[in-house]
Amino acid sequence: MSMYTLVVFDWDGTLMDSTHSIVAAIQGACRDLELPVPSASDASWVIGLSLESALRRAVPELTQAMVPRFLERYRTHYLLRDPELRLFDGVPEMLDALAGQGIQLAVATGKSRVGLNRALAATGLGPRFAATRTADETFSKPHPAMLHELMQELDVAPEQVLMVGDTSHDLQMAVNAGVHGLGVTYGAHTLKELEGCSPQAVLGSVPLVREWLLDRVRAAA
């Protein structure tokens, strides 16, 4: 059993039920600019990457000159769906339970700093996290920089760290950083994609993630 002292969460599709909103925003911006509209599976595959990296993959026809207009339309579509955004059931309780066991919590996300701060303020989760990293502050996933920087800031060794995410980008980042990964299937990527990154486990709900973590912390205590 491993004694994790730091659990790092992805945001979109892991803590917040925002996958459908991101996909719809990408597709809506494509329609507005009369670009080929990616399928839902193609649009969801890029979730977790930096926005620049995501657009290169999901909308290869997008030229550099079109990027400012595309981003404006993307953000408009995303904000129109803002009232629909919710944390997955059980997220606050899970974070409280983990914190109650003395585990430090952090976020590593493909969102921008402005976007993450807005989400943290809206959900009230900001005080629960010891540190956070966003894609516009450092290298995008699956580069290990976010995790390396969080480990350095919080003075935690790799063997004490777990990365929790809904995409292969999250889990490959964990592999690249030399830390354990835990996949969740209720977000953007498929079970097969997640298992391809050799995580410790792949789970289907927030309550299962909570129990999986608490069992290991208590067993190692």
Where in the sequence numbering do the catalytic residues fall?
10, 12
- Residues 44/185, Cβ–Cβ less than 8 Å: no
Q: 10 Å Cβ neighbour count for 31?
A: 12
- Residues 53/12, Cβ–Cβ less than 8 Å: no
105: β partners = 7
How many angstroms separate the CA atoms of 11 and 5, rounded?
A: 19
How many angstroms separate the CA atoms of 107 and 133, rounded?
A: 6
**How many residues are recorded in the chain?**
221
CA 205 to each of CA 11, 35, 90, 219: distance values in angstroms, whole numbers, following the listed order = 15, 35, 9, 21
- Residues 171/199, Cβ–Cβ less than 8 Å: yes
CA 139 to each of CA 41, 43, 49, 129, 189: distance values in angstroms, whole numbers, following the listed order = 24, 21, 10, 20, 21
